[in-house]
Amino acid sequence: MRIDIITVLPELMKSPFEASILKRAIDKGLVSIHFHDLREHSKNKYRQIDDYQFGGGAGMVLMVEPIDKCISQLKSEREYDEIIYMTPDGTTLNQSIANELSLKGNIMILCGHYKGVDQRVRDHLITREISIGDFVLSGGELAANILCDAIIRLIPGVLSNETSALTDSFQDNLLAPPVYTRPADYKGWKVPEILTSGNTPKIEEWREDQAIKRTKEIRPDLLDD
Ligand code: ADE
């Protein structure tokens, strides 16, 4: 998979790709990340990429031209499955969207900033708009980092134990059951006996029950559909 990220703050976004699972995925050649600084596509000698909004009102808006230039250049080099705009008024990200996007070949992600982008970008260039939740960040960069993390860990071969993504919370609309490791008794805080019994079918049954119990308590909305 190839991910192209268009942003005014590439430096802000780099470190999550330089450690742990994401770095390993890149080193293994399973994904490549390419940053594009929007200012490089400004035709203006001040490298201007934003302007006041028509009609008045507080906050700057990212201009259509530098974004169109950048996206058009990338599209002339390869085909993209999705051109995603990170915005608080997009569709809320969930595991099923992450699963779907992890199967794509080339995706582009545009990070919004200030008041957002000129609506014509959204109308003519963007194929999908994604929010990471009902709150407003100072820009789309951190949201794009989160989207990339959620997608990349699902690409086949990224996680060493592939079943570990299948047992994540949300994969089956349930929260994950509790997990424990050694010691089995710490200060009298004991691990549930069933987990040390060696009885695999019973353990699976217990995990399923725990997942349902947790989901009912914390996220009953997940059980609605
Ligand atoms: N940009 C600002 N806030 C955001 C959010 N919640 N999700 C995606 N992009 C954003």
107 CB under 6 A from ligand 1?
no
> In the CATH hierarchy, which top-level class contains the domain 2-152?
alpha beta
Helix or strand run (H / E) with residue 206? helix 200-218
Residue appearing with tokens 């260039």: 125
| Inter-residue contact 194 to 203 (CB < 8 Å) | yes
pTM of the model: 0.94
Average pLDDT over residues 3-22: 96
What one-letter code names the amino acid at 122? R
Distance CA 140, CA 150 (A): 15
Could you read off the pLDDT of 49-84 as tens digits, one per residue?
999 999 999 999 999 999 999 999 999 999 999 999
Q: Is the preceding omega at residue 183 within 30 degrees of 0, hence cis?
A: yes
Is 166's pLDDT higher than 80? no
Q: Does the domain spanning 167-224 belong to CATH 1.10.10.10? A: no
Helix spans in 84-190 (H): 95-101, 119-124, 141-152, 163-166
Strand 50-52 versus strand 60-62 pairing type: antiparallel
- Closest residue to atom 7 of ligand 1, CA basis: 131
Average pLDDT over residues 141-164: 91
Domain boundaries, given as residue ranges, for the chain: 2-152, 167-224
135 CB under 6 A from ligand 1?
yes
